[in-house]
Amino acid sequence: MLPLFLPPSVEVNGFLRVQTALTLFTAAYMAEAIRAGLQAVPRGQYEAATALGLSPFQRIVHVVLPQALKVSLPALVNTSISEVKNTTLVLIVGMFDVLQTTRQSLIEPQWRPYFVEAYGFTAVLFFILCFAISQLSRKVERHLDHPGK
């Protein structure tokens, strides 16, 4: 859709289109997760920070935002894992991703007998990426629950 909003003389390559679309899409979801986290912080926290004499900026940075990000962390990680899986959508603009590369390799007659291995490797690759992100999230959540350990 990006080329439709630009003058005809402007040529935008596929990679830039994909990068822009995924960035805007992800930013919208992450902003929504953080907004929900900010709403989850009790009003008393704002009032307590004000009673301590903190400026509005200090209230947000030192009191509200850490609590909001802690609450938002599962949703942020979920969005990140979803985006790893959404990378297969770049096929729409004609770019090849890991899954499409697997499909293209199977067009060659000598690779056809190995379709199970090819798709298995691709599945394992996606699993490893998503599992690593989720484990990192668990580690961060545990650290936030028990600081200093």
**Residue 128 Cα to chain centre, angstroms:** 16
Lowest mean pLDDT among 28-42, 50-64, 125-139: 125-139
- pLDDT on residue 146: 76
- pLDDT on residue 142: 87
The answer, as to whether pTM is greater than 0.75, is: no
Axis-axis angle for helices 115-145, 98-105 (nearest 10): 170
- pLDDT on residue 23: 87
Which residue from 106, 139, 64 is spatially nearest to 131, judged by alpha carbons?
139
Q: In the predicted model, what is the mean pLDDT of residues 99-114?
A: 76
- pLDDT on residue 89: 65
**Residue 44 Cα to chain centre, angstroms:** 31
Confidence class of residue 2 from pLDDT cuts 50, 70 and 90? Answer: low
Measure Cα distances from 69 to 32, 38, 95, 101, 115 in Å. Answer: 12, 8, 34, 37, 43
Determine the Cα–Cα distance for residues 57 and 49; give it in Å rounded to an integer. Answer: 11
- pLDDT on residue 93: 56
List of domains in the chain: 2-145 (1.10.3720.10)
- pLDDT on residue 149: 60
Which residue from 133, 16, 34, 37 is spatially nearest to 83, judged by alpha carbons?
133
Instruction: Report the residue count for the chain.
Output: 149
Count the helix, strand and coil residues of the chain and give each as a percent rounded to the nearest 5: 85, 0, 15
Q: In the predicted model, what is the mean pLDDT of residues 65-74?
A: 92
- pLDDT on residue 100: 73
